[in-house]
Amino acid sequence: MKSASDRWQHTLVARTERFLSWRKRRHTEKKEAQKKKNPILDWVEAFIWAAFVVLLINQYVLQAYQIPSGSMISTLLEGDRIFVNKLIYGPELIPGMLKMPGFTEPSRSSVIIFENPSYISKGPIFDIVQRVLYMVTLSLVDIDRDQYGRPRAHFLIKRAVGVAHDRLRLREGNMYFRPEGESRWFSEEEFKKLSGLEYHQRRLVQQEQYPMFQDAAEATVYRELSIPLTDNQKQAIDAVTQLQYVDGYYLDMARNETFFAANPQNERYASREQFYENGWYVPSGRIFPMGDNRDNSRDARSFGAVSEQKVLGRAMFIYWPLQRLGAIR
């Protein structure tokens, strides 16, 4: 009569043999099925699987993105291909919808990618298809183009210059800060030094051009008010129209100042005068992004502070071209 130990060993051996037989049979069946499979279908399956994996990574972890303009020179150049960390601020569950919680919030001086507040959607289905194709092809295919064949700016990449409760204002193209609790304004260079920040902003407009901008702005107002122009004022208008880069914000401010001086009871001019004096206030849950290439960047100076919910990720590093391979700071 077999002991309990012998019976247990016999059962274990029998089950092991059955498992190994099943495993061998299963392996043989897979090999036979693989032989019968059409090689083209096999390749298509492999491609779809790879695309699915790339899509998952791009949507939830790292997204490839191509720099569309020179607004971030010299931090980023037009045509640079970069990877964006999407996990840090919370990825979207579905492209363009249902943003998930992140590990942190956008911080001052971070280079971020966010939805363009001025973007006009062609519909949710198109947006999802466009974003899926863009991610699967690692930014090589972008079907969202304008009538001239140029990519439409669905996303923007800028630096988070201002954060919640900051006040910011411009003086002759230079940004000034008044953080929460401070009673005076700091120039950007002074503020960066005090805050331990390291980034570089680039100017294309020369400081000595601002008196000419002032003259040109006043001259355009005088012309609208039917006041005769001097030769110097006419020359200033001609000179400004021939420049490639001008400070449009300063020209608007100088025009409003001139109109306000001529008509101080006008509420619109008075309101704008107050805005130019006080600048922008950044509410809670928002940031103020700007391009490093200040005179060639459409940013929060045009559309105001951006909701943190619209921030999709933080720029991590350049992967192409190879000579520019490196971290983004």
Say which residue the tokens 């060639």 belong to.
296
CA triple 38-40-46, angle to 5 deg: 105
Using alpha carbons, select from 220, 256, 259, 258 the residue that is nearest to residue 237: 220
Cα atoms found within 13 Å of the Cα of residue 113, Cβ hemisphere only? 27
Mean pLDDT value of segment 105-122: 90
Say which residue the tokens 């990825």 belong to.
91
Name the residue with higher pLDDT: 263 or 146.
Answer: 263
Question: Which DSSP string corresponds to 161-178?
Answer: EE-TT-EEEEETTEEEEE
- Architecture of the domain made up of 57-199+286-327: Ribbon (2.10)
Local structure of residue 323 (DSSP, 8 states): G
Report residue 254 as tokens. Answer: 């100088």
0.75 exceeded by pTM: yes
User: Would you list the domain boundaries of the chain?
Assistant: 1-34, 57-199+286-327, 207-275
Segment 131-159, tens digit of pLDDT? 778 777 777 788 888 778 777 888 899 99
Task: For residue 270, count CB atoms less than 10 angstroms from its CB and return exposed for 0-12, middle for 13-18, buried for 19 or more.
Answer: middle
Q: Among 24-28, 149-153, 323-327, where is mean pLDDT lowest?
A: 24-28
Say which residue the tokens 């569950």 belong to.
93
pLDDT band at 56 (very low <50, low <70, confident <90, very high): confident
pLDDT band at 9 (very low <50, low <70, confident <90, very high): low
pLDDT at site 37? 58
